[in-house]
Amino acid sequence: MGATLLLRRRSAGSRNGFTLIEVVISAVLTMVVVLIVGAAIDMTARQTRAEVARLETAATARRILQQLERELGDAGGDLDAAVDYVTPSRAAGGANLTTLRFRQRRALTGVLATDWPEPEITYALVAAPGEIFGNGQDDDADGVVDERALARTQGGTTVVLDEGVTRFLVNRAAGSDVVQVTLEVARGHERRRVTTNEGAAITHLTASVLMRNPAQ
């Protein structure tokens, strides 16, 4: 009688607990849920970083190109003095140059020193910190290959406009008063070393600027 009662109590206790198989299954299901949630969070974070990088490149490219358009619109030369302050010049033109030089006209007095008082402005590509241009590698591990910095220099003062420029090209047909500028800004949203720019956020803009003071 006593042995039978003890056996029944043990059987009742085993039914109220968890078996090893149940514990293992619960652990596996929990792990699967955690992995799914983690993957969803990681994907959302990647998409957010990519969108932020895209917006940043677009804003940066527009800002630089709008500034250049405003300044270049007042450039050109002095017809009476036969002086052309723009490189590439109207006479020679130029294709796919990576440097643009010009001076802005401020008055119409006929006196060169008064009409063109500002020092020459130069837009040019320079080396980006930590990046060796032309070797096809992402030396600084920022997610962009072979980027350079775009610098603006005037009167001995140089300001780096952006350090993620992958293209800056200046084109001018000989005899034309229009200068075409192409600008491409890139950001690597993964912030890791890459071998191509396929995954980077890139904004490509082109502007054709008609100078108001052509040297003819």
Residue stretches of the chain with pLDDT short of 70: 1-17, 80-81, 216
Q: How is residue 156 written in tokens?
A: 């001995």
Q: Tokens for 203?
A: 């904004």
Strand partners, 99: 124
How many Cα neighbours within 13 Å face the side chain of 169? 10
Closest CA to 210 of 67, 87, 76: 76
Domain ranges of the chain: 39-210
- Give the integer Cα–Cα distance in Å for 41 and 47: 10
- Per residue in 59-103, pLDDT tens? 999 999 999 999 999 998 877 667 899 999 999 999 999 999 999
